C-alpha cells in the first residue's frame, strides 16, 4: 500500500446471514481519516504510471480519461 498520512488500516466487524445461519466476521479496509484535512495529489504517481506504460488514456468530448490496473498501480515506485 501507498504510505500516506491521510489513510490507515481499519478493522470492521459485522454479522452476515448465510443459509439461514448468522456468522460474525471481521475484515480490514484501507480508509481515509475523515478528521484530518487531505488534498491528495496523484500527479507524480500518474507520471510514473505513464512512464512505465501502466496508465492508459483516452480522449473523450469532456477531456482525457486515464485508467490503470489496480495491482500494478499500487506497486508503482
Instruction: Per-residue pLDDT tens, the chain, 77 aa: give them.
Output: 567 777 889 999 999 999 999 999 999 998 988 887 777 788 888 888 889 899 999 999 889 898 999 888 888 77
Per-residue pLDDT at 46: 85
- 29: alpha, beta or left? (left if phi > 0; alpha if psi -120 to 50): beta
pTM equals 0.45
From 32, 31, 34, 38, select the one nearest 12 (Cα to Cα): 31
Per-residue pLDDT at 2: 62
Per-residue pLDDT at 5: 73
Report which DSSP code applies to 36.
S
Amino acid at each position: 500500500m501507498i504510505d500516506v498520512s491521510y489513510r490507515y488500516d481499519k478493522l470492521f466487524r459485522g454479522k452476515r446471514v448465510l443459509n439461514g445461519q448468522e456468522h460474525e466476521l471481521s475484515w480490514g479496509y484501507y480508509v481515509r481519516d475523515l478528521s484530518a484535512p487531505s488534498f491528495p495529489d496523484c500527479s507524480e504517481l500518474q507520471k510514473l504510471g505513464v512512464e512505465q506504460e501502466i496508465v492508459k488514456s483516452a480522449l473523450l468530448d469532456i477531456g482525457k480519461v486515464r485508467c490503470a490496473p489496480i495491482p500494478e498501480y499500487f506497486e508503482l515506485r
